[in-house]
Amino acid sequence: MIMFGKIARDPVSWASLVFTTVLPFLIASVVQATEVLIFSTVTLACNLLLGYTGFLSFAQSAFLGVGAYACGYLLVHSGSGFLVSMVLATLAAAAAGALVGLLATQKRGIYGVMLTLALSQMFYFIAYAASDITGGDNGMSGIVRPDIVLFGAKLLRTDNATAFYCLSGVFFILVCVLLRLLLASPFGAVLVAIRENEERAIAIGYNTRLFKTLAFVISAAITGAAGALYAMFLSFAPLSNIDIAMSEKIVIMTVLGGSNSFFGPVLGATAYVLLSNVLSVVWQRWLLLLGIILILIAGFLRGGIWSIVVWLWDAATNMRSRRNQKNLAATQEGRQLI
């Protein structure tokens, strides 16, 4: 009950609901909106590590790929239904997360980042070598979207675009709510403590490696579930899912949106998906522009798109508050809470 109260009072959880409702009307394509939601979820998971734990992970593509392959394999070969495939894919990705977490957290700082990239490459080569399961270079094809059946009752057909959007929307909101609860819990506080000063967290008596590994497991589970959805969305699981370039893409989306806020990465994923859909038609080498944007953001605008939103909001409220003769500092302080 307390949990429900927390969520009901949490503006970000409400924002995720509003975002999901408004998005298809704003961009007028349900298919694109679905892609945006799936990648938004993936960036939220990435930001659990990057923004909250302070661990830059280049292994996110491994989790996405494992989830996609596991779900695809189950749907194509075992005939298991939607829910079973999703759950097992999530568990498979969580296991991959545990492995990466255990190894990568042996080292702190840059060394840890290098390990995530190397381990991610290992998963790529495993997927490449196991071509009779994953299809290797050709990818895994023939994945069909199953109906959602619970205790023999058909709940939802997922083979049309709108239904699949709703499904992705429910998943996205669910992940937002879960992550908000997690971050508001003592567990979340420890993660932030590790980000701020790991030595101090250790000195207080926390087993920081355990916490960081758990953060990897949770992040991987979410990413893997999103990967499973992505495989059903495309009806296909390409090798590029598990490529380093995918990890880079996920990290770039997260940073573009702003890794020091909860909702920023969602804006980053939205901007990236929309930009890539528009620009890749006009100018194939648009990633060049993205590279430059990434350099500028890392150099000058660490808050990403989110900080621009906050700045605009502040400017707007400041104008209003001047009109109302209110105290500027008070409104700015109020803004910080979101």
Partner 1 sequence: MLYVFQVLNGIGIGMIYFLISIGLTLIFGIMNFVNFAHGAFYLLGAYLGYQVALSTGSFTLALITAPLALAAIGWLSERYFLSRLYDIPHTYQILVTLGLSLVIQELVISIWGPVGTTVAIPEALRGVIFIGGFPYPKYRIFVVLFAGILALLVWFLLERTRYGALLRAGSESTQMVSMLGIDIYRLFSATFALGALLAGIAGVLSAPLRGTDPFMSGEALAIGFVVVVIGGLGRFEGALVGSILVGVVQSVMSSVWSEGANIMIYVAMGLVILLRPRGLFGRA
The binding site for partner 1 (CB under 8 A) comprises 50, 54, 56, 103, 106-107, 109-111, 113-115, 117-122, 125-126, 128-131, 243-245, 248, 251-252, 255, 285, 287-288, 290-295, 297-299, 302
Alpha-carbon dihedral sign for residues 62, 67, 73, 76: negative
CA distance 138 to 240: 10
CB of 255 to partner 1, least distance (A): 6
Is residue 182 within 8 Å of 222, Cβ to Cβ? Answer: no
CB of 283 to partner 1, least distance (A): 10
CB of 324 to partner 1, least distance (A): 38
Longest dimension (CA), the chain: 70
Is residue 232 within 8 Å of 97, Cβ to Cβ? Answer: no
Q: Using the minimum distance from each CB to partner 1, give the nearer residue, 55 or 165.
A: 55
- Residue 240: burial class (beta carbons within 10 Å; 0-12, 13-18, 19+): middle
Q: Using the minimum distance from each CB to partner 1, give the nearer residue, 88 or 242.
A: 242
Distances (CA, A) of 239 to 68, 199, 209, 220, 307: 10, 39, 31, 18, 35
CA distance 258 to 311: 13
Which one, of 148, 132, 138, 145, lies nearest residue 231 by Cα?
Answer: 145
Q: Using the minimum distance from each CB to partner 1, give the nearer residue, 244 or 274.
A: 244
CB of 220 to partner 1, least distance (A): 17
CB of 73 to partner 1, least distance (A): 18
Q: Using the minimum distance from each CB to partner 1, give the nearer residue, 111 or 313.
A: 111
As beta bridge partners, residue 237 has 140
Q: Using the minimum distance from each CB to partner 1, give the nearer residue, 56 or 237.
A: 56
CB of 118 to partner 1, least distance (A): 5
DSSP 8-state symbol, 139 = -
Q: Using the minimum distance from each CB to partner 1, give the nearer residue, 59 or 173.
A: 59
